[in-house]
Amino acid sequence: MKINAMPPCQAKCPIHMDVQGYVAAIARGDVQEADRIIRRTNPFPSVCGRICTRECESVCRRGKSVDEPVAIRALKRFASDSASVGSEVPGPETRFSEKVCIVGAGPAGLTAAHDLALMGYHVTVYESEDEPGGMLTRGIPRYRLPLDLVRSEVDRIRSLGVEIKTGYMLGRDISLQDLQKDFDAVFLGMGSEKSTCPECSGMELSGVWTAVEFLKDVSRGKKFNPGNKVIVIGGGHTAIDAARTCLRLGAKDVTIAYRRTIDEMPAGMDEVEDAREEGVRFEFLTAPEAFEGSGKVEKMRCVRMDLDKSCGGKGKLTCVEDSAFEMEADTIILATGYAPRTEAVQELCTEGGDRLEIKDAAGSTRTPGVFAGGDFVSGPTTVVQAIASGRKAADAVHRYLRGMDQSPEEQEKVLEDLDDDVARLVPEAGRQKPVCLNPGSRVHSFDEVEHVFTPEQARAEEARCLHCSLGAHVSQDCAVCLNCVLVCPYNVPRPGEEKAVIDMSQCQACGICAGQCPASAIDLRLESRTELRQNIRRVLEKAESSSHGEFNFAYVCDFSKFRPGDVQGENVYTINRPGLGRIDVYELLVPFEAGAREVLVSGCGEDDCKFKDCSLWTRRNVQKAARILESIGMDPERLKIVEG
Amino acid sequence: MIVAEVKPMAEIQDTIKKYSKVLISGCGSCVTVCLSGGAQQVEVLASSLRTAAKSQGQQLEVGQETQLRQCDPMFIEQIRDKAAGYEAILSMGCGAGVQTMAETLGNIPVYPALDTVFFGGADGQGGFMETCAACGQCILSRTGGICPVARCAKSLTDGPCGGAQAGNCEVSKDTRCAWQLIYVRLVRLGQVHLLKETTPPKARRVHPARLNRAE
């Protein structure tokens, strides 16, 4: 969908995912198409459908102005879980002779490999571990992200012709110089897995772990007994993952100690809540000083912190005097920060430093043809940031190999907020919540905690999308009758100097104005008149040719609880549409012209319709069309409206 | 704006019953604004006529077209070639549009699909009200901007008839008495003294009126 200003969900997403596109496809009941739309920009839909940090939802205009944000991540998971496995992966249209090497098979590297393979390059990926996937396979616990899903996504990437070689570590098994000789371009995406630990005595004690090593061992199936009491130090996603994993390994008393407060925790609030539900305790404003024990850790000595938030940023931390106290622990897990391992690429680092020197947004390094990205450059971020970096890297490598200039950084124009006067007219609708395993029972296994939406939940949730920027626009055919100004339930159209003006940022895409425009000058971006009419013609032609003149026809609203298959009866041909408000009188009559016996209009009814007054205008149009039928000697009862 | 409404379907069907190939022609100006003869109404009428013909086992091909302004020959010229392919034209323009089309095309019969009913303005969604009678001698300066010629059932120009009750016309209870409205308006404007002035008799209009603004 080509639009002038991006809806906030798409603009905020690091990969500018076409959220509206796949939500609309789900609304049409076409999960295959939804999955295809997602895969255009994201090779890991099932992953992001589960663990994405949902930046899109944080800016959703429904959430900001009406009630709660649309559950975009859960809808993505619904689409990806519902789409049939092994749906076709389109191959490249062109083949290039150049070979590209990717180092690191995490989400950044694999995304770059995926995109470059689709562009037509031969891609080889080197991975130091014995399985590709990076943090997806060895960092995220199985109760959040089942391993087979990651493997399935990796297999799809392999099926594009990408060769993945595991057990090759840069600096140990292969060198950058050799890769530069053997390949035309190199992308370094080795992640950020070197733990940075606080300066505490007792780090050498048995029972003190870094979170990365701990989670990696658990994911490999290593038997691990954390004992009864566990302290996890840190406030990010990994700290929460480590704490919840310890509960599943049998720990009875798990505490997360974080030196700041809950407000500064990098982990999402929903994760904190999930952990709390499972029994994880939190000690805020707590910092470790020493780990103590004889051979094996037995306790942590720590101090209380004071956080001065007045100085801006995350605030200034100071130790509270005489606040030292002790906490007993059988296991201590440090989740306090991660840095990239740059030892093998020292020639690309800043002088005397351990950070890669990156020359531009494309991830170009000092050496032409060598690019870097993902957590390896940025430090630990999120999976979707890594995917975005991989996509950017693929584009950069392609431009380098084809002798093109690197893409300039573009600032997307974002749709403005919904006006309060419009927002208060939008019917409220509660956000659907996926079913989760009971906290009491789920801590005894690594079974996935969150379930996928049921089809009914997905239907209710997709109907909550406000279709930002996909509303009505006015063509030059406008006769400036201003009927649109009078019929719009949200008071969006205004008289302009030459024609009526409909503010794209405020229009709710109900289509009522389009259905009532006497000049047929208003159309919807959500579904154009041309698309709709073609669809009607196609279905009517099919009905005429296969039913020998005896058929019924139905318009079914995408947002109602009905689906085309729900309309019972023989020889029923249906069209599902995003809203019925824009179905005009002609569109109600034209099936009769084709010979339909009955025409059914199926929607939600006034109380349940997502669009204000849509039901009212639909009924009016049906009444008008029925009067016309009567005037030409046909039974008006042949046109029916069903709501509810 | 000229306000028109679609003729009863039976009348339209009767008008074109002897033809098998008819072009419906809409107008993008006044009759679009009054929701009677724009592009949307054209396709509704076309579909209705085709459906009716099909249900009665008749052959009827209906084409459709909408000009920007049917009362100007230059716009009619734009469809001359297309019109030549039809036996008759059903105009969804006002009476002026029908005549301009008939005059311009000459050898193709042009029939009205609308009844032109009045000159008026918008009165809420889908509503229109007669406000001007095109009498040619405007007295609105003395009647507070409310025309008694168009809005008084008796077109009285020198005060009310006396039959109004509670401000409503004795001819139609749904209509406000124009002279009551004029009085209230003049009070609000501080111009009640204008009621003392009498309106000279209007010269009888000679039809057809003509106007030449080129000079």
Instruction: Say which DSSP state B213 is in.
Output: -
Sheet containing A331-334, strands listed edge to edge, beginning at the edge strand earlier in sequence:
A208-210, A331-334, A229-233, A253-257, A281-283
Phi, psi of A534 (to 5 degrees): -60, -40
A631 close to B (CB below 8 A): yes
Q: Which amino acid is at A79?
A: A
Are A256 and A282 in contact, with CB atoms under 8 Å apart?
yes
Are A16 and A40 in contact, with CB atoms under 8 Å apart?
no
What radius of gyration, in Å, describes the C-alpha atoms of chain A? Answer: 29
A130 close to B (CB below 8 A): no
Q: In this structure, are strands B128-132 and B114-122 parallel, antiparallel, or unpaired?
A: antiparallel
Cβ <8 Å between A592 and B124: no
How is chain A split into domains, by residue range? 8-88+412-462, 99-193+340-400, 208-334, 474-643
Smallest Cα–Cα separation from B63: which of B127, B113, B20, B13? B20
The pLDDT, as a whole number, for residue A350 is 80
**Residue B84 exposed, middle or buried by CB count within 10 Å (0-12, 13-18, 19+):** exposed
The pLDDT-based confidence of A177 (bands split at 50, 70, 90) is very high
Set of chain A residues whose Cβ sits within 8 Å of the Cβ of B5: none
Set of chain A residues whose Cβ sits within 8 Å of the Cβ of B10: 631
Neighbours of A518 (CB within 10 A): 23
How is chain B split into domains, by residue range? 2-117, 135-196
Tokens 């616990």 sit on residue: A141
Q: Is there a common fold for A99-193+340-400 and A474-643?
A: no
Cβ <8 Å between A520 and B43: yes
- Measured distance CA(A475)–CA(A502) in Å, rounded: 11
Mean pLDDT of chain A: 92
**Residue A635 exposed, middle or buried by CB count within 10 Å (0-12, 13-18, 19+):** exposed
Considering CB atoms only, which of A479, A589, A592 is closest to B44? A589
Per residue in A43-62, pLDDT (tens digit) is 999 999 999 999 999 999 99
DSSP H or E stretch at residue B89 = strand B88-91
Q: How far away is chain A from the Cα of B38, in angstroms, using its nearest Cα?
A: 5
Set of chain B residues whose Cβ sits within 8 Å of the Cβ of A519: 28, 32, 38-40
Q: Return the residue in B49, B50, B51 with the most chain A beta carbons within 10 A, the one to mutate for interface testing.
A: B51
A628 close to B (CB below 8 A): yes
Cβ <8 Å between B44 and A477: no
**Has residue A570 got a pLDDT over 80?**
no
Phi, psi of A340 (to 5 degrees): -75, 150
Considering CB atoms only, which of B13, B32, B56 is closest to A518? B32
Cβ <8 Å between A593 and B124: no
A425 close to B (CB below 8 A): no
For B157-171, the three-class secondary structure string (H helix, E strand, C coil) is CCCCCCCCECCECCC
Fold that domain A99-193+340-400 belongs to in CATH: FAD/NAD(P)-binding domain (3.50.50)
Architecture of domain A208-334: 3-Layer(bba) Sandwich (3.50)
Per residue in A431-453, pLDDT (tens digit) is 999 999 999 899 999 999 999 99
The pLDDT, as a whole number, for residue A89 is 64
**Mean pLDDT value of segment A622-634:** 97
Task: Please give the share of chain A, as a percent, with pLDDT higher than 70.
Answer: 97
Cβ <8 Å between B32 and A479: yes
The pLDDT-based confidence of A347 (bands split at 50, 70, 90) is confident
Q: Which residue in chain A is spatially nearest to B43 when comparing CA positions?
A: A586
A94 close to B (CB below 8 A): no
The pLDDT, as a whole number, for residue A276 is 96
Set of chain B residues whose Cβ sits within 8 Å of the Cβ of A631: 8-10, 48
Neighbours of A411 (CB within 10 A): 7
Prediction ipTM score = 0.93
Q: Return the residue in A589, A616, A624 with the most chain B beta carbons within 10 A, the one to mutate for interface testing.
A: A589
Set of chain A residues whose Cβ sits within 8 Å of the Cβ of B48: 589, 628, 631-632
Cβ <8 Å between A479 and B33: yes
- DSSP states along A386-414: HHHHHHHHHHHHHHHHTTPPPPPP-PPPB
Q: Which residue in chain B is spatially nearest to A629 when comparing CA positions?
A: B48
Q: Which amino acid is at A443?
A: V
- Report mean pLDDT in 10-residue bins for chain B, 215 residues: 97 97 98 97 98 94 96 96 97 98 96 97 94 94 96 94 94 94 97 91 84 82
The pLDDT, as a whole number, for residue A412 is 77
Per residue in A254-296, pLDDT (tens digit) is 999 999 999 999 998 889 999 999 999 999 999 999 999 998 9
Cβ <8 Å between B54 and A481: no
Considering CB atoms only, which of A479, A487, A632 is closest to B29? A479
Fold that domain B2-117 belongs to in CATH: Rossmann fold (3.40.50)
Considering CB atoms only, which of B34, B43, B52 is closest to A586? B43
The pLDDT, as a whole number, for residue A86 is 58
Q: Which residue in chain A is spatially nearest to B122 when comparing CA positions?
A: A481
**Has residue A567 got a pLDDT over 70?**
no
Smallest Cα–Cα separation from A267: which of A202, A356, A335, A174? A335
**Mean pLDDT value of segment A383-403:** 95
- Measured distance CA(A593)–CA(A521) in Å, rounded: 24
Q: How far away is chain A from the Cα of B33, in angstroms, using its nearest Cα?
A: 4
The pLDDT-based confidence of A563 (bands split at 50, 70, 90) is low
The pLDDT, as a whole number, for residue B211 is 85
Are A45 and A38 in contact, with CB atoms under 8 Å apart?
yes
Q: How many CB pairs under 8 A join A and B?
A: 79
A140-144, A208-212, A427-431, A561-565: least confidently modelled range: A561-565
Q: Which residue in chain A is spatially nearest to B9 when comparing CA positions?
A: A631
The pLDDT-based confidence of A338 (bands split at 50, 70, 90) is confident
For residue B87 the two structure tokens come to 């036996």
Smallest Cα–Cα separation from B92: which of B34, B138, B144, B145? B34
Cβ <8 Å between B47 and A517: no
- Measured distance CA(A429)–CA(A413) in Å, rounded: 28
**Residue B59 exposed, middle or buried by CB count within 10 Å (0-12, 13-18, 19+):** exposed
Architecture of domain A474-643: 2-Layer Sandwich (3.30)
The pLDDT, as a whole number, for residue A85 is 66
Considering CB atoms only, which of B32, B36, B51 is closest to A632? B51
* Contacts (Cβ under 8 Å, ≥6 apart) of A271: A237, A240
The pLDDT, as a whole number, for residue B198 is 86
The pLDDT, as a whole number, for residue A564 is 59
Q: How far away is chain A from the Cα of B185, in angstroms, using its nearest Cα?
A: 27
**Has residue A88 got a pLDDT over 70?**
no
**Has residue A22 got a pLDDT over 80?**
yes
The CB-side HSE value for A415 (13 A sphere, CA atoms) comes to: 26
A639 close to B (CB below 8 A): no
Considering CB atoms only, which of B35, B52, B126 is closest to A632? B52
CA angle A88, A94, A98 (to 5 degrees): 115
Q: Return the residue in A474, A482, A483 with the most chain B beta carbons within 10 A, the one to mutate for interface testing.
A: A483
Set of chain A residues whose Cβ sits within 8 Å of the Cβ of B38: 479, 481, 518-520
Cβ <8 Å between B40 and A486: no
Set of chain A residues whose Cβ sits within 8 Å of the Cβ of B125: 483, 486-487
Considering CB atoms only, which of A520, A585, A634 is closest to B55? A634
The pLDDT-based confidence of A2 (bands split at 50, 70, 90) is very low
**Mean pLDDT value of segment A407-412:** 75
Q: How far away is chain A from the Cα of B9, in angstroms, using its nearest Cα?
A: 6
Cβ <8 Å between B50 and A633: no
**Mean pLDDT value of segment A1-20:** 85
Are B157 and B149 in contact, with CB atoms under 8 Å apart?
yes
Considering CB atoms only, which of B39, B51, B122 is closest to A477? B39
The pLDDT, as a whole number, for residue A1 is 38
Smallest Cα–Cα separation from A527: which of A21, A10, A8? A21
A435 close to B (CB below 8 A): no
Q: Which residue in chain A is spatially nearest to B8 when comparing CA positions?
A: A631
Q: Which residue in chain A is spatially nearest to B13 when comparing CA positions?
A: A632
* Alpha helix (H) residue ranges in A256-354: 269-278
The pLDDT-based confidence of A316 (bands split at 50, 70, 90) is confident
- Measured distance CA(A511)–CA(A35) in Å, rounded: 27
The pLDDT, as a whole number, for residue A346 is 83
Set of chain B residues whose Cβ sits within 8 Å of the Cβ of A520: 38-40, 43
Q: Which residue in chain B is spatially nearest to A587 when comparing CA positions?
A: B44
Set of chain B residues whose Cβ sits within 8 Å of the Cβ of A628: 9, 44, 48
**Mean pLDDT value of segment A620-635:** 97
The pLDDT-based confidence of A605 (bands split at 50, 70, 90) is confident
Architecture of domain A8-88+412-462: Orthogonal Bundle (1.10)
Are B106 and B85 in contact, with CB atoms under 8 Å apart?
no
